[in-house]
Amino acid sequence: MSRSGSTLSGTHGRHLPSLLMLITCSLCACPQASPQRNVLLITVDTLRADFVHAYGFEPANTPSLDALAERGALFENAIAAATVTAPAHASIMTARYAREHSVGTRNGDTRLEGMVTLAELFENAGYDTAAFVSNVVLRRRLGLDRGFQTYDDDLVRGESNRQSHFERIAESTALRAIDWLEKRAGRGFFLWVHLQDPHGPYAPPQSFAGKVGDVALRSERPLPVLETSVGRAGIPDYQALADLRTPAAYAGRYAEEIMYADHWIGKLVEAADRQSGDRGTVALVTGDHGESMGEAGWFFQHGHSTTPDLARVPFILVAPGVERRRYETVVSHVDVAPTLLELAGLPALEQSSGISLARLVKSHDAPADRLVFCDTKGEAAAYHALGFARVGVSSARAPAGAGLPMQFEAQRKNERGEWRPAEIDERTKQRLVRYIASRVPLVAAGVMEPEHIEQLRALGYIPQSDDAAGQQAAPDGDPAQ
């Protein structure tokens, strides 16, 4: 993202009365006063797993995430529910896949409606709740603000190449979140912080620029700048940096943005631990989706597919009683809410497409034969621990399943961790088809606010002369977000 920063004035807060209550301890099934841990959820935009040192990236660029992995559980095969921002976060907050919630695969032009959110459950249990977000698509119009007593989406500056695409750097977001934490004396909290920095344009602050240097990609030829935000064999227009042309230089800047975000992740975890004291903190860090680094000719973009460069994200979990360990089990964004609720000592969600990983990280009892799903516009994938199958679907909004022309592709990881074409097993194929057919009707579009319409118009998505813009929607799965 650009180094535009923002002011630190006023958060928007409201405080509801506490409703602390006795609940049943879901891990031991004995009625008792729950420990009710504090909870810190950090989502990092556009963070692919293999650019994190704890997942094998060299040189070491993520000391804070590495330290978290030393304290708890690291999931090697964590799959984003979607490869664009809004549906991925909606899945994190509802434990439902993109085809099961009203945000769908569109990137923020429909609201989240009709489902209980993780924040509402924490608020109902008497927690202080707050969110601090850094990307324009996560503004409160998306509906993720429900249950958050404070929802800080005060984004005042645009990206360097898209002045209407509002965002905020990690320092601005994290300092506000830390300030909120420090006012919670003795109170239980659920805090969600979203950091935007690895999202392009890759322009880390001076103090981090050059700390990683060039990162060799398969292609080393200088790339042209594209005239659009989507396309192969070039640098998308919103990513263009005047002084950079080679893929290695862009990849290095991306790794440095991750290093910068990691610095503030460390500060946030420290502040949460300090505030929690004996109560203990459950902390989970994940990415919303990855980023292509030349795979299939796509550079520095996301949202165009469901392949591992875009789907595979870090997923690191620490909590009292959770030992340091790495897990091969495939996990998903839809597991976030069930896991945090159980580790916090709260009752489970009534409806969930995910599983709580609490049992896995406490007793190492892995679920057998698990598949998880990843969506983007016109494509869905089913992942298991060793590989995936994906299929193009003619439209994310069309009735899916029988009758659609479906082109399946499967890949598996070899011993060296490389992805190679594979046979599609019939069972995975059938489960993927059933998933595509399971989507619920989306809540109607047309919920955009005038401010949003103006932003889309400024970005060129809506013609200046189009008086009916209010009824139009943004392009599906805009990868620039």
Q: Which is nearer to Zn ion, 45 or 476 (CB)?
A: 45
Nearer to Zn ion, 88 or 268 (CB): 88
In sequence order, what E strands does 71-112 have? 73-79
The least CB distance from residue 78 to Zn ion, in Å, is 15
Distance from chain centroid for Cα 348: 22
User: E-strand spans in 28-127?
Assistant: 31-32, 38-44, 73-79
Complex with Zn ion: residue 332 or 356, whichever CB lies closer = 332
Total chain residues near Zn ion (CB under 5 A): 3
Task: Pick the closer one to Zn ion by CB: 85 or 91.
Answer: 85
Binding mask 274-313 for Zn ion (x = CB under 5 A): --------------x-------------------------
Closest distance to Zn ion from the beta carbon of 123 (Å): 25
Helix %, strand %, coil % for the chain, to 5? 30, 20, 50
Cβ atoms of residues 302 and 311 within 8 Å: no
Quote the tokens at residue 394.
Answer: 């003619």
Toward Zn ion, which CB reaches closer, 45 or 109? 45
From 21-29, 43-51, 264-272, 291-299, give the range in contact with Zn ion by CB under 5 A.
43-51
Looking at beta carbons only, is 336 or 358 nearer to Zn ion? 336
User: DSSP assignment of 382-422, as one string?
Assistant: EEETTEEEEEE-S-TTS--STTS---EEEEEE-TTS-EEE-
CA distance 218 to 220: 6
Q: Nearest approach, Cβ of 288 to Zn ion (angstroms)?
A: 4
Pick the piece of the chain touching Zn ion (CB under 5 A) from 21-29, 85-93, 348-356, 428-436.
85-93
Residue of 38, 40, 44, 45 interacting with Zn ion (CB under 5 A): 45
3-class DSSP assignment, residue 143: coil
Question: How far, CA to CA in Å, does 338 sit from each of 92, 196, 283, 341, 357?
Answer: 10, 25, 14, 5, 8
Give yes or no for residue 85 binding Zn ion (CB under 5 A).
yes
How many C-beta neighbours within 10 Å does residue 325 have? 13
Radius of gyration of the chain (CA): 21
| Cβ-closest position to Zn ion | 85
Q: Nearest approach, Cβ of 348 to Zn ion (angstroms)? A: 28
Q: How far apart are CA 448 and CA 161, in angstroms?
A: 23
Least distance CB 174 / Zn ion (angstroms): 18
**Closer CB to Zn ion, residue 65 or residue 360?**
65
The least CB distance from residue 287 to Zn ion, in Å, is: 8
**In the complex, which residues of this chain contact Zn ion (CB under 5 A)?**
45, 85, 288
